[in-house]
Structure 1
Amino acid sequence: MSSPPRKFRLPDLISACPLKDATNPHYEKAAAESRAWINSYNIFADRKRAHFIQGQNELLCSHVYCFAGYEEFRTTCDFVNLLFVVDEVSDEQNGIEARATGQVFVNAMKFDDWDDNSILAKITREFRARFLRLAGPNTVKRFADLCETYTQCVGREAELREHNQILGLEEFVPHRRQNSAVLLCFTLVEYVVGLDLKDEVYEDTTFRDAYFAACDYVCWSNDVYSYDMEQSRGLTGNNIVTVLMKEKGISLQEASDYIGKYCANLLEKYLDARTRISLSLGHEATQFINAVGQWMVGNLAWSFETVRYFGPSHLDVKETRVVYLRPQERFSDL
């Protein structure tokens, strides 16, 4: 019986991406404020707090919302930090518990007068107040609906983990779009840029081609980058790498290579659809699709700037693309 692999090589996504990365000039001030806001609730044990700080969620926002003004940028930092709270809590819950956590998040986001006096509800309500100040009605409704879908998928993810089940590829792709919260974060682009797109825009075929190609690109590239971290924590079921290895009967390296080729196709699809968006949709549709492209390139850049995925070797991994798999953490370490 062959030994499991000790290393694998990442696909060269950065060199293949023609989109231009940038960072937000308000990063340092807004990031410090947002981090202090979350930490003021003292919701993390020491290890979780270290994971939160080292992950530098706000730096991700700096790359993907590089065009945001100060208030809008601070709000995006708050939301990504709020998602971190929901994600970290639900990762250690069973299906019933994760759905209950998600429902607190949804209720506090959707209803003005809802409050169960939990810390999660309070954090969510404070974010919601910021968001509603500038968001248009279509964006608010779209955001609330996606919050509900996101939490349902997070609950299902917990159920699958509880029963050690892995979805097939066809079912996993739409599931991953939602439980990754990427579509939620795309909706924040409307808030940041000052758009309020109508539903008809999202129903346009070419718009949807670009929209979902961008989303899948972020999900697939993120999954191959985060695979080592997740396998070290015993949480690989919700990852396209695992899905591909199981469904296609391929090795870890072959799955990584497959993702590289698939991401290249997604990038081409996004760029092609971006040039074909109908003028009848208006300039705002093109503006939105251009802006979500920052998520595609920004997530790549951010992944190698922190220790979140590759630990202290993140700069070496960026240069060599070789990932040495870490041993699984003991339960007492989590």
Structure 2
Amino acid sequence: MSTALIVPPTYAPIPPAIHPFHADIDARTAAWAHAFDIGSERLRERLVTQEIGSFAARILPSGRPEVVQVLGDFVLWLFGVDDGLCEEGELGLEPGALNAALQRLLWIAEHPEADILTDDPLARGLRDLRARVAAYGTAGQTKAWIDALREYFLSVIWEASHRTAGNVPDLDDYTLMRLYDGATTVVLPMLEMAHGYELRPEERALPGIRAAAQAASFVICWDNDLFSYHKEVRERGQTGGYYLNVIRVLQHHRGLTADQALTEAIGQRDRVMVLFQSLCATLRAQGSPQLRQYLADLGHFVRGSMDWGITSVRYTTPDDPAALPARFSTTPTGTGPVDIPSIAWWWEVLDQGTTDQPWARGDDLVIPSGRMPRDRGFQIAGLHRS
């Protein structure tokens, strides 16, 4: 009998959208996974059924198809790392060995010319992704992507240390880790690449923009915890394996039942969603055309994650169905700050306003082309074996 936690409709003020080429993108992501042998055969066969390319198409519904394709392939690669190395593989219980493996992959992202791991599927896939990121992005965006990959790797090593010890971090520490190990920050440079612009460094450094991006990450990661809870409990929790999400954190440290923890987590994500919308409204009124596009894509990222989360077989687990919502709510369960010290400053930024810099309000700015090449036709890169 299923013991699924019933997840009610969550607050979604952002309308759904998906790229018109979503079916082609999803098929090509599956083909890419097979071409590079990402993960074990069993894992790969599972991943290619999860509509990961369509997830990318939801994140970038109006983006250049070539970049949406890179994003779909990259997200599948990330699942190959997260599922294959960290959660289901032996390295997930050996933080030191996991760190060594991930540092070798990071070296390839930084130095694809390096003659290492030439026969490793994840390394070969990463080399292909790195080449395509560099082709469609600027040098600054490529560096931002690599830096975010480093942050992601550090966070999964942090999680592995808890998995090895069998302990549960407190809510504040979990929040810090989750904002990185959800791999949302690695996606952010691709939002810019997909539309052929690059945010000005002055804009990117503004507290309001940093708060908006982190708030989007929070909502995406909390939603993922809600939608994946049944899958994680079924696959690991019921067999005595380790799993970690916000529901378990709240149960462990606040003495809540699973249903009470679910209610608390939804309240947290709804309040952050309200904050995100308020920050975006203020920033849109003050920002450049590039920034307005960036904020729109952050919103698509949030809503796309929701739509994919309640429909992908990754989380619906049809053989033992998860009790996920079929729709979303138009009303938040609450408003106001969330009592998590590391993110309390987001609401302070909103109270203080974001910026009144003259450069940030100009509507006559030209979106820079950077190093974006002309469209080469919608084709998948790297589908060959070396």
Give yes or no for TM over 0.5. yes
Counterpart of 1:329 in structure 2 is none
Residue 292 of structure 1 is matched in structure 2 by 298
CA distance in 2, matches of 1:287, 1:129: 25
Q: How many Å separate the matches in 2 of 1:23 and 1:180? A: 21
Is residue 35 of structure 2 the alignment partner of residue 40 of structure 1?
yes
The corresponding residue for 2:376 is none
Q: Given that residues 90 and 158 in structure 1 are in contact (C-alpha distance below 8 angstroms), is that contact kept between their aligned partners in structure 2?
A: yes
Judge which range, 123-132 or 67-76, deviates more.
67-76
What is the rounded CA distance, in whole Å, between the counterparts of 1:296 and 1:172 in structure 2? 20
- Residue 318 (structure 1) aligns with: 325
Matched, 1:9 2:6: yes
- 1:193 is aligned to 195
> Cα offset for 1:8?
2.4
Determine the structure 2 residue equivalent to 1:220: 222
- Bigger Cα Rg: 2
TM-score normalised by length of structure 2: 0.76
Cα distance in 2, alignment partners of residues 207 and 52 from structure 1:
33
Amino acid at match of 2:37: N
Distance in 1 (CA, whole Å) between partners of 2:65 and 2:114 is 29
Q: Which runs of 5+ in 2 are unaligned?
A: 329-386
Residue 320 and residue 38 in structure 1: after superposition, are their counterparts in 2 closer, same or farther (change >3 A)?
closer
Write the distance in 1 (CA, Å) between the matches of 2:242 and 2:17.
31
2:310/2:325 contact within 8 Å kept: yes
Instruction: Please identify, of 312-321 and 78-87, the stretch whose mean Cα deviation from structure 2 is larger.
Output: 312-321
| Amino acid aligned to 2:292 | T
**Alignment deviations for residues 236-279 of structure 1 (CA, whole Å, 9 cap, x no partner):** 54311111111211111011111211111111101111111276
> Could you tell me whether the CA contact under 8 Å between 1:166 and 1:237 is conserved in 2?
no
Larger deviation, residues 218-227 vs 25-34: 25-34
- 1:6-60 CA-partner distances (Å, limit 9, x unpaired): 34221321xx212011111122222222211221233444431332123221121
Worse-superposed segment, 131-140 or 42-51: 42-51
* SS class of match (2:313): coil
The secondary structure found in structure 2 opposite 1:195 is: coil
How many angstroms apart in 2 are the aligned matches of 1:45 and 1:209? Answer: 38
SS of aligned partner of 2:5: strand
Q: Is contact 1:31-1:77 (8 Å) kept?
A: yes
Residue 98 of structure 2 aligns with an amino acid whose one-letter code is: A
Asked if the contact 2:18–2:61 (Cα under 8 Å) also holds between the matched residues in 1, the reply is yes
Quote the residue 2:273 is aligned against: 267
Partner of residue 256, structure 2: 250
1:85 aligned counterpart, secondary structure: helix
The letter for the 1-side match of 2:105 is F
CA contact (8 A) 2:155 2:180 kept: yes
Q: Which moved more, 1:254-263 or 1:195-204?
A: 195-204
For 1:63 and 1:316, locate their aligned partners in 2 and report how far apart those are by CA, in whole Å: 22
Distance 1:233 1:275 in 2: 41
Aligned length, in residue pairs: 315
Q: Specify whether residues 205 and 317 from structure 1 end up closer, same or farther in structure 2 by C-alpha distance, changes over 3 A only.
A: closer
**Residues 5, 322 of structure 2: 8 Å contact kept:** no
Matched, 1:127 2:133: no
For residue 62 of structure 2, the aligned residue among 58, 61, 67 is: 67
Provide closer, same or farther for how the CA distance between residues 288 and 271 of structure 1 changes in structure 2, counting only shifts above 3 A: same
Q: 1:31 to 1:278 in 2, by over 3 A?
A: closer
| Equivalent position of 1:324 in the other structure | none
Q: Which position in structure 1 is the counterpart of 2:53?
A: 58
Report the Cα distance in structure 1 between the residues aligned to 2:299 and 2:284, rounded to whole angstroms.
Answer: 18
- Would the aligned equivalents of 2:222 and 2:246 in 1 still touch at CA under 8 Å? yes
- Which of residues 174, 177, 180 is equivalent to 2:176? 174
Question: Shift in Å at residue 115 of structure 1?
Answer: 3.5
1:280, distance to aligned residue in structure 2 (A): 6.2
How many angstroms does 1:126 deviate by?
0.6
Farther off after superposition, 305-314 or 98-107: 305-314
Pair 1:87 & 2:82 matched: yes
Q: Does structure 1 conserve the Cα–Cα contact (< 8 Å) formed by 2:182 and 2:221? A: yes
Please, what is the CA RMSD of the aligned residues?
2.2
